[in-house]
């Protein structure tokens, strides 16, 4: 039989060893230890502040908890399964350090409001860290974009050549996705940053506690209004995992593009040795493992979101042990998003190079300027649909005769429609094709330069 944590004398014998392991969360919730200590210190200060314990008892609890923090940091505190969870582990050690005073820490508190407090403090810190990483990643995207305003890249719809783009415009699309991610995290943070401490097991407490005092000490913005809701709400964890899933969606879309850009068929980027791997058998290979892993890891974050939703569905009020299952998925989501953001930042900053000559050739070898021929005619008064049909026929003839639009002679253009003049060649030149898309938010260079300015402002960088 395994030693019981702290159960009351109504228990006569210990847990079956298998059940002790099954029940325990210490192996993973040890991740919360520093937040548990901080939360307990605030609780101890509140107990002293309200006179529930004496000032000196409060001080002993706070310094005993600080000692545990140092012991943990120096590797001298490694509680095992017999402690069941991090909360019991810390309380037990505190009682070893401070004697009977330690036994007062849990006055007016339950592990139910405690674990909710810890998880929120943890997530708040992680959100701030992820937001810093997003900013870093955005600044790398911005750097590359600033150097590539007039670098052209084929733009696709349905993965078919559509219209050429400024490479900067393409990268700024990801900048914007990440911007929404950052804002979404700020929004999630507002609901993470609410204190359940003092909700007790489910119904509040008979002691004259001060929940606003602990909330203030822990820099929470507000307290839960309803104790049952406070101990059993995991919306904040679901919302975070949803925001994390969207970050992964964005990273994996870029990862996918990098993967095919690096293929021989596209050849738009070269992978540098620092971020590429070889094959154990094919000596010529250089593989894009980094973006592939990012793409591959995306699914596990989606899985955690699904697991959390299913865990909560149909759960009666208030705390149920099911809720212990919220942590591993949450921690793994944080770790996955963090690792992927970091790796993609390194990949873009120093692990790949755009092959600008190849890109320049690419935009000249297709019909992605066909819309511009139709627009040319429409500007000269031909109704757009008519112009569109005419250009469709031209493209068909060009394909049959193995020509591109730029290969047609002025005479041929004029035979197609009398409105064509010599300036058609300028209109279908890829640089002009891109420059001309000067509508707000478009890929025209003037627009892109504006967008770059705005992006710099978002990152609080000085204007160039």
Residue 208 CB, nearest approach to ligand ARG (Å): 24
Binds ligand ARG by CB under 6 A, chosen from 112, 117, 371, 447? 112
Integer Cα distance of 145 and 461 in angstroms: 15
C-beta of 287: minimal distance to ligand ARG in Å? 40
Query: For residues 296-325, which are near ligand ARG according to CB under 6 A?
Result: 319, 321, 323-324
Report if residue 122 touches ligand ARG, rule: CB under 6 A.
no
Residue nearer to ligand ARG on the CB measure, 112 or 252: 112
Given the rule CB under 6 A, which of 100-108, 109-117, 220-228, 338-346 is the region that contacts ligand ARG? 109-117
Residue 153: closest CA among 140, 171, 141: 171
Find out whether 88 and 114 touch, Cβ atoms under 8 Å. no
Of these, 2, 5, 15, 29, which contacts ligand ARG (CB under 6 A)? 29
Classify 287 as helix, strand or coil.
Answer: strand
Q: How far is the CB of 115 from ligand ARG (least distance, A)?
A: 4
Length reported for the chain: 464
- The span from the CA of 461 to the CA of 438, in Å, is 25
Question: Smallest distance from the beta carbon of 29 to ligand ARG, in angstroms?
Answer: 6
Whose structure tokens read 């006055």?
107
Residue 115 binding ligand ARG, by CB under 6 A: yes
- Decide: 254 and 344 in contact? Cβ < 8 Å: yes
Stretch that binds ligand ARG, among 111-119, 164-172, 218-226, 247-255 (CB under 6 A): 111-119
Per-residue x/- track, 136-155, ligand ARG (CB under 6 A)? --------------------
Is 279 in the active site? yes
User: What whole-number distance in Å separates Cα of residue 109 and Cα of residue 88?
Assistant: 13
**Residue choice 2, 25, 38, 227 for contact with ligand ARG (CB under 6 A):** 25
User: What are the tokens at 377?
Assistant: 């005619």
- In the complex, minimum distance from the CB of residue 104 to ligand ARG, in angstroms, rounded to a whole number: 20
- What's the gap between Cα 140 and its chain centre? 16
CB of 313 to ligand ARG, least distance (A): 18
Q: Decide: is 434 part of the binding site for ligand ARG (CB under 6 A).
A: no
CA distances from 85 to 33, 77, 88, 264, 315 (A): 10, 14, 6, 53, 22
Given a contact cutoff of 8 angstroms between Cβ atoms, the answer to whether 213 and 328 are in contact is no
* Local structure of 161: helix, strand or coil: strand
As to burial, measured by CB atoms within 10 angstroms (0-12 exposed, 13-18 middle, 19+ buried), residue 12 is exposed
Q: What is the DSSP string of 13-82?
A: S-B-HHHHHHH--HHHHGGGHHHHHHHHHHHHHHHHHTTSS-HHHHHHHHHHHHHHHHHHHTT-----GG
**The Cα angle at residue 341 between residues 184 and 335, in degrees rounded to 5:** 85
Q: Which CB, 197 or 362, lies closer to ligand ARG?
A: 197
Residues 69-88 contacting ligand ARG, CB under 6 A: 85, 87
What's the N-to-C CA distance of the chain in angstroms?
Answer: 70
Under 8 Å between Cβ of 269 and 262: yes
Is residue 255 within 8 A of residue 292, CB to CB? The reply is: yes
Ramachandran quadrant class, 441 (left: phi over 0; alpha: psi -120 to 50; beta: rest): left
Token digits of residue 21 = 């392991």
Question: Which tokens is 169 given?
Answer: 């415009």
How far is residue 438's CA from residue 448's CA, in Å, rounded to a whole number?
9
Complex with ligand ARG: residue 43 or 297, whichever CB lies closer: 43
Nearest approach, Cβ of residue 71 and ligand ARG (Å): 21
Number of residues that bind ligand ARG (CB under 6 A): 11
Given the rule CB under 6 A, which of 107-115, 177-185, 258-266, 430-438 is the region that contacts ligand ARG? 107-115
Q: Does 195 bind ligand ARG (CB under 6 A)?
A: no
Please pick, among 18, 158, 280, 439, the residue that the annotation labels catalytic: 158
Which member of 63, 274, 279, 350 is catalytic? Answer: 279
Quick one: 269 or 323, whose CB is closer to ligand ARG? 323
Q: Does 111 participate in binding ligand ARG (rule CB under 6 A)?
A: yes
Looking at beta carbons only, is 7 or 384 nearer to ligand ARG?
7
Q: At its nearest, how many Å lie between ligand ARG and the CB of residue 53?
A: 23
Site for ligand ARG in 196-215 (CB under 6 A): none
Could you list the active site residues? 158, 279
- Catalog residues that contact ligand ARG under the rule CB under 6 A: 25, 29, 85, 87, 111-112, 115, 319, 321, 323-324
């Amino acid at each position: 039989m395994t030693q019981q944590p702290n159960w009351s004398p109504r228990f006569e014998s210990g847990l079956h060893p298998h059940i002790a392991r099954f029940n325990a969360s210490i192996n993973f919730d040890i991740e919360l230890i520093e937040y548990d200590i901080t939360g307990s210190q605030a609780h101890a200060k509140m107990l002293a502040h309200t006179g529930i314990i004496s000032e000196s008892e409060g001080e002993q609890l706070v310094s005993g908890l600080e000692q545990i923090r140092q012991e943990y940091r120096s590797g001298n505190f490694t509680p095992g399964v017999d402690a069941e969870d991090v909360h019991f582990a810390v309380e037990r050690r505190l009682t070893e350090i401070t004697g009977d005073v330690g036994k007062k820490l849990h006055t007016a508190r339950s592990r139910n409001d405690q674990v909710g407090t810890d998880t929120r403090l943890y997530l708040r810190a992680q959100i701030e860290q992820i937001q810093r990483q997003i900013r870093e990643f955005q600044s790398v995207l911005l750097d590359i974009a600033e150097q590539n305003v007039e670098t052209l890249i084929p733009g696709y719809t349905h993965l078919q050549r559509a219209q050429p783009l400024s490479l900067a415009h393409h990268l700024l699309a990801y900048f914007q996705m990440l911007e929404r991610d950052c804002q979404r995290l700020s929004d999630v943070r507002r609901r993470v940053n609410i204190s359940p401490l003092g909700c007790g097991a489910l119904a509040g407490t008979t002691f004259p506690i001060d929940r606003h005092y602990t909330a203030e000490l822990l820099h929470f913005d507000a307290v839960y209004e309803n104790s049952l809701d406070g101990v059993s709400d995991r919306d904040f964890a679901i919302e975070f995992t949803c925001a994390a899933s969207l970050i992964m969606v964005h990273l994996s879309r870029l990862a996918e593009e990098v993967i095919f850009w690096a293929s021989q068929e596209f050849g738009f980027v070269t992978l540098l040795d620092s971020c590429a791997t070889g094959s154990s058998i094919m000596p010529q290979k250089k593989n894009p493992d980094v973006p592939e892993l990012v793409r591959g890891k995306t699914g596990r974050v989606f899985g955690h979101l699904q697991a959390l939703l299913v865990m909560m569905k149909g759960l009666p009020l208030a705390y149920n042990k099911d809720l212990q299952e919220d942590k591993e998925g949450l921690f793994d989501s944080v770790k996955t998003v963090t690792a992927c953001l970091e790796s993609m930042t390194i990949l873009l900053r120093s692990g790949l190079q755009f092959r600008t000559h190849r890109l320049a050739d690419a935009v000249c070898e297709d019909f992605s300027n066909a819309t511009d021929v139709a627009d040319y005619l429409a500007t000269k008064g031909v109704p757009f649909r008519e112009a569109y049909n005419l250009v469709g026929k031209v493209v068909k003839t060009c394909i049959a005769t193995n020509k591109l639009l730029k290969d047609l002679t002025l005479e041929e253009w004029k035979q197609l429609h009398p409105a064509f003049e010599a300036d058609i060649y300028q209109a279908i030149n890829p640089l002009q094709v891109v420059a001309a898309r000067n509508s707000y938010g478009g890929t025209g260079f003037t627009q892109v330069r504006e967008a770059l300015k705005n992006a710099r402002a978002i990152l609080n960088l000085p204007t160039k």
